[in-house]
Chain A
C-alpha cells in the first residue's frame, strides 16, 4: 500500500525559479523524510522532519509538515540545473516497539530544471 503520494508527478522550471513539491499520506507517522534520486543512481537523503515539527530548513531546502492535513511540502529555492532529479517523500513509522524506523515511499516527483 502506498503511503505517500507526491504532487505533481512531473515539474519543469527554469533555473533560478523555486520548485515546490507536495506529499500527502494516510496514516500517523513518526517523521517524514525527503530523498533525491538522480537518474540511474541510489537515493540520497535530503531532510527529515519530525511529527512534532512544522517547518525545517536546510540550505536551499524548506520542508513543512501539517499533520492535521497529513501533508508535507518541499520547497527548493533558486533552483539549479543540478537539482534535476526525482524527489521522493517517505513516511517513517516506528516498529520493534519504537526501536527502528520503517519507511514507506511515495511515487516521486520528477523535477527538470532548464538552464
Chain B
C-alpha cells in the first residue's frame, strides 16, 4: 500500500539506550519531517530533510540524530534516551511545491 509508515508503533526502552525510529514513504516525496507531540506543547519539529543527504535542525533537535541516505527513508535515532524523550513521534512527508504534509500513524515511545 502506498503511504507513509512508521515502525515500531510502540516502544519501551531504558534510559541511556540507543533507539531508532523508522519512517518510510512510498510517494517519493522530497521533504520529510520528524515531530514530537507532548501534552501542552502540540507538535514540535525535531529535524527535517529537503532531499536525500540534506537534513536540518528544527525546534527541538538536541539528543536526536537523523540520516537520509534514500529518499523514501528518514530514520530518527535517540543516541542515549532520556525520560524527557518519552513522547509520541510523528513522521511526515510532502512533495515539492506543496504546503500540505502527510503524516504517519506515530510511534509512542516510553523511556523508563
User: Which among B44, B90, B101 has the greatest number of chain A C-beta atoms within 10 A?
Assistant: B101
Partner of B40, one of A95, A101, A107: A107
- Inter-chain contact A101/B105, CB cutoff 8 Å: no
User: Which among B43, B56, B96, B98 has the greatest number of chain A C-beta atoms within 10 A?
Assistant: B43
- Other than the given A2-B41, A88-B42, A102-B58, 20 more pairs (CB < 8 A) read A1-B59, A42-B90, A43-B90, A43-B103, A44-B103, A45-B101, A45-B102, A90-B43, A96-B50, A99-B50, A100-B50, A100-B94, A101-B98, A101-B99, A102-B48, A104-B45, A104-B59, A105-B43, A107-B41, A108-B42
Which residues does B use to contact A, with CB under 8 Å?
Answer: 31, 33, 35, 40-45, 48, 50, 56, 58-59, 90, 92, 94, 96, 98-106
